[in-house]
Amino acid sequence: MGTRDTLAAKIAANISKIEDSRAKVVVDSDGNVGVLCERNSGGKRGWIHAGVIAVADKVTVSKETAYCFRYVADEFAAAIA
């Protein structure tokens, strides 16, 4: 499990470097590791939920998360690589 935590922490740190983005590592009650993402939409909405990236044997990005990062797709791809 340690490598998943390390990978998730690296991904979260890289996503947090993207402008108007932040992320943190989360572990659910079953021990599944993920990266909770948020984007700053500006205006009244402020920070919005941008999905969770699952970190297991491979990194799985939901359609919701990919959509939220569509305007910074290249930076996002580099962050999760």
Largest Cα–Cα separation, the chain: 39
- Residue 6 CA to residue 20 CA, distance in Å, equals 23
pLDDT tens by residue, 27-50: 999 989 999 999 998 878 889 999
Residue 76 confidence (pLDDT) above 70 = yes
Report whether 36 contacts 80 (CB < 8 A): no
Residue 11 φ then ψ, to 5°: -65, -45
Task: Please state the rounded mean pLDDT for residues 40-65.
Answer: 91
Task: Please state the rounded mean pLDDT for residues 52-75.
Answer: 94
Q: What's the pLDDT band for 1 if we cut at 50, 70, 90?
A: low
Q: What is the pLDDT of residue 2?
A: 67
Instruction: Please give the model's pTM, rounded to 2 decimal places.
Output: 0.90
